[in-house]
Amino acid sequence: MIRPVKLRGIDKEMMPIGYGCMGQTHSYGMKGSREEMLDLLKAVKEAGYTMFDTAPAYGEDNEKFLGAALKEVRDDVIITTKFGILHMPEEGGSMDLNSSHDSILKQVDESLSRLGTDYIDLYYQHRIDPNVSPEEVASTMKELHEAGKIRAWGVSFAPVDYIRRAHAVFPLSAVENMYNMLDREDEKTYFPLCEELGLAYVSACPLAKGFLSGTINKQTTYREGDWRNRMDLFKDETIDQNQVLLDMLNAYAKEKNATAAQITLSWEMHRVPFMIPIPGTTKKTRAKENFDSVYVDLTDEEMNTINAQLEKMNTVGMHRR
């Protein structure tokens, strides 16, 4: 099994894979009932997940569902949520950003109330606010930490210099960016930074919105409101161009008696010791399948071979940030 991990400031050992809650209420054209989502989240916990990633920008119910589902096991899990986006539209448009001191104090109290808890394990700045310096944000995080409202903090999709400046004021614990086999630019920039500063790298979209699960093809249809309807990644010509990667994943999956998704996630967790992918799904079977990737071992030789193959592929990734 792949090694457990610990985050700076959080006195809990956790599995090296987390569960992303976004899809329950945002981006995929479907919103399940409260009963369905609570049942799903409890099944996710039973599958072995110990880290759960949510955000108010995904809709207020997202935090409410998570808090209710984990109420009885609160101290055994790591809850991560976010601040900084007051509104994130379902279909394009501009985000409403605010990371001012007073706004953050209001946002954290609202999240605590929705989650039904008195502390947040890991609190991310969801997107940087161009009107607020990293030093000011870090100072606010220090204030929240001293008040016992957060255990640790991180940033999502922030520039390297921003991270360094913030870290100098109050140390971060994690960076959350987009990373997967199709989008590997962060290997050159954020990986060295995380290693230097002792940060976890939390991989959002580790399965590229499901593309790397091996279950999507040119005949796949999506619900109305599903962002994948308008993403270049899911157009026929892109699927054709990326087929070489899917073929490689399927070959390893067959050899390892695993699935393409499990090979993808195992590769990420083997890539660097500070990696934590957070795949999301609204299907119990997929959640269990994704978690069980921690039991799929890839040798150093296999990792080297996969990495060499990836370098030779002319694949197309997702639009960044």
Structure tokens at 113: 């109330």
Q: Tell me which residue of 263, 253, 245 sits closest to 183, measured CA to CA.
A: 245
C-alpha to C-alpha distance for 97 and 99, rounded to whole angstroms: 7
Distance CA 278, CA 52 (A): 8
Tokens representing 312 are: 């030779």
Active site residues: 58
Residue 34, pLDDT score? 82
Residues 270-293: what's their mean pLDDT?
A: 95
Domain 19-207+272-283+291-296: CATH class, spelled out: alpha beta
Q: Return the half-sphere exposure (C-beta side, CA atoms, 13 A cut-off) of residue 119.
A: 17
- For 58-67, b/e burial (b = at least 16 CB within 10 A) is bbebbbbbbb
Q: Are 277 and 206 spatial neighbours (Cβ–Cβ below 8 Å)?
A: yes
Q: How far apart are the first and last CA of the chain?
A: 32
The pLDDT of 277-286, averaged and rounded, is 93
pTM (2 decimals)?
A: 0.92
The chain-wide mean pLDDT, for the chain, equals 90
189-239 tens-digit pLDDT: 999 999 999 999 999 999 988 789 877 765 565 555 555 656 667 676 787
Ramachandran sector of residue 7 (left: φ over 0; alpha: ψ -120 to 50; beta: rest): beta
E strand residue ranges, the chain: 19-20, 51-53, 78-83, 85-87, 96-97, 120-125, 150-156, 174-178, 200-204, 275-277
CA 241 to chain centre: 26
CA atoms within 13 A on the CB side of 237: 2
pLDDT band at 319 (very low <50, low <70, confident <90, very high): low
Q: How confident is the model at residue 29 (pLDDT cuts 50, 70, 90)?
A: very low
Report pLDDT for 54. Answer: 96
283-303 mean pLDDT: 96
Q: Judge contact between 236 and 218, C-beta under 8 A.
A: yes
Q: At a CB cut-off of 8 Å and minimum separation 6, what does 36 contact?
A: none
Range name among 23-32, 35-44, 154-163, 172-181 with the lowest pLDDT average: 23-32
State the pLDDT confidence band at 321, using cuts at 50, 70 and 90.
very low
Which pLDDT belongs to residue 317? Answer: 80
pLDDT grade for 24, boundaries at 50, 70 and 90? confident
- Predicted confidence at residue 305, as pLDDT, reads 97
Identify the weakest region by mean pLDDT among 21-30, 42-51, 52-61, 253-262. 21-30
Tens digit of pLDDT for each residue in 66-121? 999 999 999 999 999 999 998 776 655 678 899 999 999 999 999 999 999 999 99
- According to the model, what pLDDT value does residue 320 have? 43
- Whether the per-residue pLDDT at 126 is higher than 90: the answer is yes
Domain map of the chain by residue range?
Answer: 19-207+272-283+291-296
